Amino acid sequence: MANEAKETSGKTKIAVVTGGSRGIGKSTVLALAERGVNSIFTFVSASKEADEVVSAVAKFGAQAVAFKLDTGIVGEFDGFVERVNSTVRGWGAEHIDYLVNNAGISHHNAFDKVTEEELDKLYAVNFKGVFFLTQKLVRIMNDGGRIVNISSGLARFWTPNTVPYASLKGAIEVFTHYLAKDLGPRGITVNAVAPGAIQTDFSGGMVRDNPEVNKMVSEATALGRPGLPDDIGPMIASFLSDANRWVTAQRIEVSGGMYL
């Protein structure tokens, strides 16, 4: 599959993946590496895990660089883009090809108890950061590039105490739809991938570590279990390939058939 990344241009493709040190982001970076794609990914605090991902990527014969970035702080974006530019040039390229907006934070609180501070923090990372980082990175993206925004099954189905989180994922899906039209003249596709409940450390590892939640999710899912990061990362990597060049402005749910 390594040759797939070079099938159209003869050059190695380059991806930017936010939140790439753990969970779905890590799985995405590794799945891209298996396809011969180099990655620039971000992390907030998991520096050891980020280093491990870089080492794992090298085993596939690809390259990866990890940069610390809080995607909730827009003021850090210009410096990050400069580092991306420098890395891309060091790899003998001029632009990036793919962007996966994966970084996000969870939130669980009853609607009538949500504070302004909580909502502002959630908005900063889960929507505002996605909006402005994408705005900056499309300027250094090749025409014909691909963008995947991570939404959530919660934008379709209901679970308790998730009003702000689900609402902002809904905003991501509308953003995806509109951006696909705006970037269409450049041949850039924009799609949303909406995972269901995944066994990671997201939400404090609730799906992975809480037997009651794990059982509830299993019973609500057609395929009979919660998802794993490797159920999502390879799907995103394949979605970025040229085989999906005619798919844009779509929401693809990858939930194993949750709450059908």
Residues classed as catalytic? 165
Distance (Å, whole) CA 247 – CA 8: 17
Question: DSSP label at 257?
Answer: S
Task: List the alpha helices (DSSP H) in the chain.
Answer: 23-34, 47-58, 77-90, 116-123, 129-137, 163-183, 206-209, 211-220, 229-239
CB of 208 closer than 8 Å to CB of 236: no
Strand partners, 16: 40, 99
Distances (CA, A) of 125 to 44, 50, 103, 169: 12, 20, 8, 11
Structure-derived torsion over alpha carbons of residues 76, 51, 22, 238, reported in degrees to the nearest 10: 90
Collapse the DSSP code of 256 into the 3-class scheme (helix H, G, I; strand E, B; otherwise coil) and give the result.
coil
Query: What DSSP letter does each residue of 61-116 carry, written as one string?
Result: T--EEEEE--TT-GGGHHHHHHHHHHHHHHTT-SSEEEEEE---------GGG--H
Angle formed by the axes of helices 23-34 and 229-239, nearest 10°: 50
